[in-house]
Amino acid sequence: VVAANAQRRFREPYYRSDLTYDGRFTFVRLRWESGRGFGRWGGNSNAWNHDYPRAEQHLARLLKDITYIDARTDGSLILTLDDPELFKYPIAYMWEPGFWVLSDEEALRFREYLLKGGFAIFDDFEHEQWNNYEQQMRRVLPEGRFFKLDASHQVFDTFFRMKTIDFPHPMYGILPTYYGIFEDNDPSKRLMVIANHNHDVAEYWEFSGEGLFPVDTSNEAYKLGVNYMIYGMMH
């Protein structure tokens, strides 16, 4: 049922070059540079735009349909980590952080964003790609500690009560692990960062309704996405 509500297609172009802040919920995708060739699709591929635009398109439509969130469905916003506009939006989503490389300015601005209330979600990276992700995050939050999260954390229970978060990676079948960084390294405080390691949650959003993945599993991915968005707006 959840996935079915998000399967509508849009006739108008989803990318909006004139997208500006208007108070509505807007999905923010982070754009970044890679310090090396992106091996999966070749050196000229842009890993940050994986699943664009259908993943966020489908999630935004679902948020608007099943919650009271006034979500924009006419486009998502693509911002760099050092863009001042980022501070207007409470949630930012990054794809493929296993290949992400920060500049010093981006590290500084992203740190400010997180410490001032921003919530960042990292998705679509596997195995040893964690090493690069952790290295970049150490430049942003050198004092930060990664805590392994389980289904008891409130981020998994903000709108949908998820009985399990162990649904498999859509392409590789491996089971994910979720890690978080908390304000003041205190798990009782605000979750600033969540990393879906060995997972690609947004892949389920992108291809929902096409028969590529089981509907039940796609539903779980949507539940997770909705919970993330609501958590980010509430904290």
pLDDT in tens, 59-91: 999 999 999 999 998 888 999 999 999 999 999
Of 133, 131, 135, 89, whose CA–CA distance to 114 is shortest?
A: 89
Indicate the CATH number for domain 24-234: 3.40.50.12140
Strands (E) across 4-110 are located at 28-31, 33-34, 77-80, 91-95, 100-101
Residue ranges, the chain, pLDDT below 50: 7-17, 37-44
Measured CA to CA, the distance from residue 178 to residue 151 in angstroms comes to: 10
Stated pTM of the model: 0.90
What is the per-residue pLDDT for 71?
95
Of 10, 12, 120, whose CA–CA distance to 64 is shortest?
A: 10
What is the per-residue pLDDT for 93?
98
> In the structure encoding, which two tokens stand for residue 178, read together?
């979720």
Measured CA to CA, the distance from residue 138 to residue 141 in angstroms comes to: 5
In DSSP terms, 194 is beta-bridged to: 121, 180
Pairing of strands 119-125, 91-95: parallel
What is the per-residue pLDDT for 18?
58
Q: How far apart are the first and last CA of the chain?
A: 28
Pairing of strands 33-34, 100-101: antiparallel
Give the start-to-end residue ranges of the domains of the chain.
24-234
What is the per-residue pLDDT for 10?
41
